[in-house]
């Protein structure tokens, strides 16, 4: 299932103004991702926060690494407008740039740390994105990211599946595939782990409002293009009743994947559809100019 990337950018842009009010889960996952930096003897001087949203984690990165130069990047310009409120107007805490993870407009070997919280699931070709992230990392630089796993929103997916055959909930990757993609992209020492988080709601409609509030709409290219009729929505809500807990609350499961890995020394290959590609700095070849 492929994603309509223009739709992804558009819906996140529309949600920007109210995003923080609905993004409690995203903040929690971002905090847990930042905790992976605890205890490391690692002081990055250049950092990319890719898929920065409203800049919550960008500001936290600034607090952790006050001497670092930080670039916050997002495909939704309206999100960058919200992030600008967090960076300050005098002695700005970080820089902002619009950019797409699928085609990063950044130079090679620019960053010591690439941080990305819950962005990767909105990309069609995960391996290509990871190869691009390795490209912009300096040798020995660190990649730290989170994404959603296969079990995410399983209740909502099952409820919609009882109504029609259209993909109503995005498909996510699994920890094995993510680990393999990191290895194929040439990253060294990948470490992956998984959390399961359950959020609860008084009514399944509250979950739908939350998803809309953070811009996480159904962006599948094969999605139903027409409006969801009240009859189908009511049928889905009725199917969701089977998941109601004894306390009368409705759960939503989120499988969260965390990954860290290191960029290798120059010359290590990246596997692509065309074979293996390796880049070596010209300075290391000992070529003399005449």
Per-residue pLDDT reduced to its tens digit, 258-274:
999 999 987 666 554 44
Question: What per-residue confidence (pLDDT) applies to 9?
Answer: 76
CA quadruple 155, 161, 167, 171: dihedral positive or negative?
Answer: positive
Is 94 within the bounds of a domain? Answer: yes
| Separation between Cα atoms, residue 209 and residue 167, nearest integer Å | 19
**pLDDT tens digit sequence for 137-156:** 999 999 999 999 999 999 99
Q: Exposed (0-12), middle (13-18) or buried (19+): which is 130, by Cβ within 10 Å?
A: buried
pLDDT of residue 247 exceeding 50, the answer is: yes
Could you give the angle at the alpha carbon of 230 between the alpha carbons of 155 and 151, nearest 5°?
15
Q: What is the pTM of this model?
A: 0.88
Domain that holds residue 89: 5-149+172-197+255-278
pLDDT of residue 90 exceeding 80, the answer is: no
**pLDDT tens digit sequence for 17-26:** 999 999 999 9
Average pLDDT over residues 212-236: 74
Q: Name 212's Cβ contacts closer than 8 Å, sequence gap at least 6.
A: 15
Question: What per-residue confidence (pLDDT) applies to 268?
Answer: 65
Is 25 within the bounds of a domain? Answer: yes
- 276 vs 108 pLDDT, higher one: 108
69 contacts 95 by C-beta, under 8 angstroms: yes
| Separation between Cα atoms, residue 264 and residue 187, nearest integer Å | 6
Domain of residue 79, CATH code? 3.40.50.150
Q: Which two tokens stand for residue 212?
A: 């809309």
Q: Name 203's Cβ contacts closer than 8 Å, sequence gap at least 6.
A: 250
| Separation between Cα atoms, residue 194 and residue 271, nearest integer Å | 26
Q: Which helix (H) or strand (E) holds 170?
A: none
CA quadruple 198, 83, 214, 99: dihedral positive or negative?
Answer: negative
Is 155 within the bounds of a domain? Answer: no
Instruction: Identify the three-state secondary structure at position 176.
Output: helix
Residue 71's nearest CA partner among 125, 122, 116, 129 is: 116
Is 189 within the bounds of a domain? Answer: yes
Question: What per-residue confidence (pLDDT) applies to 288?
Answer: 46
Dmax over CA atoms of the chain, in Å, equals 81
Is 212 within the bounds of a domain? Answer: no
Question: What per-residue confidence (pLDDT) applies to 278?
Answer: 53
Is 52 within the bounds of a domain? Answer: yes
Is 272 within the bounds of a domain? Answer: yes
**Structurally, how many domains does the chain consist of?**
1
16 contacts 82 by C-beta, under 8 angstroms: yes
Residues in the chain: 290
pLDDT of residue 239 exceeding 90, the answer is: yes
Average pLDDT over residues 240-269: 92
Residue 117's nearest CA partner among 192, 57, 203, 177 is: 57
Is 90 within the bounds of a domain? Answer: yes
């Amino acid at each position: 299932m492929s994603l309509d990337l223009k739709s992804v950018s558009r819906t996140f842009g529309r949600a920007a103004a109210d995003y923080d009010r609905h993004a409690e889960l995203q903040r929690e996952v971002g905090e847990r991702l930042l905790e992976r930096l605890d205890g490391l003897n690692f002081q990055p001087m250049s950092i990319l926060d890719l898929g920065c949203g409203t800049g919550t984690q960008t500001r936290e990165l600034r607090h952790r690494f006050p001497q670092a130069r930080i670039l916050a990047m997002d495909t939704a310009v309206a999100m960058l407008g919200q992030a600008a409120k967090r960076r300050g107007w005098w002695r700005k805490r970080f820089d902002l740039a619009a950019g797409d993870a699928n085609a990063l407009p950044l130079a090679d070997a620019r960053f010591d740390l690439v941080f990305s919280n819950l962005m990767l699931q909105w990309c069609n070709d995960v391996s290509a994105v990871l190869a691009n992230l390795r490209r912009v990392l300096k040798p020995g630089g660190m990649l730290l990211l989170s994404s959603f796993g296969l079990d995410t929103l399983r209740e909502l997916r099952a409820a919609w599946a009882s109504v029609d055959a259209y993909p109503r909930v995005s498909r996510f990757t699994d920890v094995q595939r993510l680990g393999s993609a990191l290895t194929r992209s040439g990253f060294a020492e990948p470490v992956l782990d998984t959390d399961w988080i359950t959020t609860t709601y008084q009514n399944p409609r509250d979950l739908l409002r939350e998803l809309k509030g953070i811009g996480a709409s159904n962006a599948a290219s094969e999605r139903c293009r027409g409006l969801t009729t009240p009859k189908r929505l009511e049928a889905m809500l009725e199917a969701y009743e089977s998941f109601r807990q004894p306390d009368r609350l409705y759960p939503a499961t989120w499988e969260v994947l965390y990954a860290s890995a290191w960029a290798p020394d120059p010359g290590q290959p990246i596997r692509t559809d065309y074979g293996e590609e390796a880049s070596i700095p010209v300075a290391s070849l000992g070529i003399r100019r005449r």
